[in-house]
Structure 1
Amino acid sequence: MTEKPETWTVRRVLDWTKGYLAEKGVENARLETEWLLSAALGLDRVGLYVNFDKPLNQEELAACRGLVGRRAKREPLQYILGTQEFCGLDFAVTPAVLIPRHDTEVIVEEALRRVPGATTILDIGVGSGCIAVAMAKNLPNSQVWGVEQSPEAIALAQQNVERHGVPVTLFEGSLFEPFADQRFDLIVSNPPYIPTADLETLQPEVREYEPRAALDGGADGLDFYRIIVPAATEHLNPGGWLMVELGIGQAEAVLGMFEKAGFGDCFTAKDPNGIDRVVGGRIP
């Protein structure tokens, strides 16, 4: 007699994968397992539970193994699935761009609250386009520009602009280079701010997979603020605002740069974890 091959049901695969990913150091292993199996099997998470006792065929098992194997190597879930939600919008993401974080939503919230009448907006270091698109979506009377050095990132951001059908114009270049004589009501930026020496201490998902150029902020993490803050004064309309995201413990130093450059009404804003995440100010 030949032995029957083992039967792997959805439930069994889910339970095994959850333990396997947890052993590999993946946080929220149960939830991530559900997302991975849903993607592999073409189901939503409700469908996964409805089909708990369904045996999987070899093709389905192979699809699950492929995605789970990638996550076990600590490749970010967002790159595997190809999407990330930000400000209630769905964005395509690839290893060409930093994965949008919910902490970054603070800069959008502050901009919408403080400058609801902005009609000309610049996003420096556009990445996936998440900030620029969210601003354009929430301020339909505005025109938004974005600038980014990476051609791969610009191509992906353009996809996200088209996906959401918003008026965002993208330029490949460095900082203010494409905007020599242009001024804006609002400039926003989430520049690289991790001190170089700290890069090796980051989680494997960040250290090994996200673009280094979008993370490395120089020796103290503040290199880009030293350029952006004073230069922004030449690119803001009277009464215009600059708002930047920053890392843990950097608010005081960046606030000092704003004040030195002549900004008034300076403020800091905390993320949901109580960390000062945004500094902003207005040109008189």
Structure 2
Amino acid sequence: MTYPSRIRWLKYLNHYSKALYRAANCQYQQVTWQGLRSCFYSSHCPTERKAEECGSVGQTHTVRDALHQWTRKFKEEKIPEPDLSAGYIIGHVLGFKRAFLDTPEMRAMYATDLMTRLDEKQTDRINGLCQKRLQRMPIQYVLGEWDFRFLTLSMKQPVFIPRQETEELVGLVLHFHRKKPNLHFLEIGCGSGAISLSILHELQQSTGVAIDQSVDAINLTRHNAKRLCLSDRIQTHRCELSDSPRLPDCIMGKYDIIVSNPPYIFQEDMPDLAPEITRYEDPKALKGGVEGMDVTLRILNMARHLLLPGGSIWLEGDPRHPAMIQKWLRTNPHTQVQLVNVLKDFCQRTRFCHLKYLPYKR
């Protein structure tokens, strides 16, 4: 649940920094982060004008000016990853997309475009979006869109923002099930539709049902499905799972897989979440109960009524959850669900559980 890695940004800066130095008439030869900072702040570079007291950058002349000034302002206000926040907002206003910023073509273009002069309309738009970020609004909501795997999804407060870990979850699902192109799946807690729509996009004969307790989430999933021309292969329903043994009518059926990034934050961990999360995202999409497993256990309890024999359950969760799930399954054999694999995320934390419904042989 982190913003994109600073490492990717540094690699990107290192790649185009020589061209940037030439364009700026700076005299640095060694390509380093310190050198880049020096270039921005050095007297060799064009004079940078200070931001106005209210925080807007009203006298910006070039893209580089705006990047420098807003990065500095975000640092002063202790905004997380200030360089990324400024870079994403400015790139968005100029028509760049996040997924393209790490390609050779965009690196080459960006070095030149840093010296491009901004017009008044562009400057005003950058200032307006940066003001929202100063209020700790997540960058995804500020931009109103975000890339997830191969899709650009609309983002809207307070719908849960998909993270990098969830992109990995989708990758695992596709890796294990790509040989079944007509996969029929159920997603529990669809949010913006990131998981379901990615599966539909990459397995073009697949079909799915997606549910969420939030009206805002269902409306956003439907909006994204329509934008991406995927509405004909997905059903969306507002539905909240409960501890009742009766299944909601909207999900009745047999599925090849159930996939979910359920609310999994421990109750005791909720106060420690960043302001970007607590102020803007739906708390019901985050709070998983005392041990972060309320929705997870409901999924495991109902799985045998929804999955075909041998069907899979894919869950994202807290690193503490795999051991807890295994212990719970041992004391609840009636579920006929077995934990078959635990996988790590890009930070090498146990994050994903692959389970199967394996009914008793009679």
Q: TM-score, normalised by structure 2?
A: 0.71
Aligned position for 1:3? none
Distance in 1 of aligned mates of 2:282 and 2:195: 18
Specify which of 345, 349, 356 is matched with residue 271 of structure 1.
345
| Structure 1 residues 180 and 76: alpha-carbon distance in aligned structure 2, compared to 1, 3 A threshold | closer
Q: CA deviation at 1:271?
A: 0.6
Distance in 1 of aligned mates of 2:276 and 2:216: 20
Residue 17 (structure 1) aligned with residue 70 (structure 2): yes
Residue 192 (structure 1) aligned with residue 263 (structure 2): yes
Q: TM-score, normalised by structure 1?
A: 0.89
Distance in 2 of aligned mates of 1:242 and 1:15: 47
Distance in 1 of aligned mates of 2:210 and 2:59: 52
> Partner amino acid for 1:108?
V
Residue 128 (structure 1) aligned with residue 199 (structure 2): no
Distance in 1 of aligned mates of 2:74 and 2:215: 34
What is the correspondence of 1:58-207 to structure 2 with a 5 Å cutoff?
58-116=120-178, 117=180, 119-166=183-230, 167-175=233-241, 176-179=247-250, 181-207=252-278
Structure 1: stretches of 5+ with no match in the other structure: 1-5
SS in 2 for 1:105: helix
SS in 1 for 2:140: helix
Which structure has the higher relative contact order (CA within 8 Å, separation 6+)? 1
Q: Deviations over 1:41-100 (max 9, x none)?
A: 556776765354455455443322211111111111110101111122111111131111
What is the correspondence of 1:202-241 to structure 2 with a 5 Å cutoff?
202-241=273-312
Length, aligned pairs only: 279
| Structure 1 residues 160 and 57: alpha-carbon distance in aligned structure 2, compared to 1, 3 A threshold | closer
| Structure 1 residues 257 and 106: alpha-carbon distance in aligned structure 2, compared to 1, 3 A threshold | farther
> Partner amino acid for 1:230?
N
Q: Deviations over 1:121-141 (max 9, x none)?
A: 000111100000111122222
| Structure 1 residues 262 and 18: alpha-carbon distance in aligned structure 2, compared to 1, 3 A threshold | same
Q: CA deviation at 1:37?
A: 2.1
Distance in 1 of aligned mates of 2:288 and 2:59: 51
Q: Tell me if structure 1 keeps the 8 A contact 2:303–2:357.
A: no
| Identical-residue share of aligned pairs (%) | 27
Q: Deviations over 1:96-116 (max 9, x none)?
A: 311111101232222222233
| Structure 1 residues 62 and 245: alpha-carbon distance in aligned structure 2, compared to 1, 3 A threshold | same
What is the correspondence of 1:29-40 to structure 2 with a 5 Å cutoff?
29-40=82-93
Bigger CA radius of gyration: 2
| Structure 1 residues 256 and 114: alpha-carbon distance in aligned structure 2, compared to 1, 3 A threshold | farther
Q: Deviations over 1:147-187 (max 9, x none)?
A: 11111111110111122222111111123513464111111
Larger CA deviation: 258-267 vs 62-71: 258-267
Larger CA deviation: 257-266 vs 29-38: 257-266
Structure 2: stretches of 5+ with no match in the other structure: 1-57, 242-246
Q: Tell me if structure 2 keeps the 8 A contact 1:34–1:48.
A: no
Distance in 2 of aligned mates of 1:281 and 1:48: 45
Q: CA deviation at 1:8?
A: 2.7
Q: CA deviation at 1:7?
A: 4.8
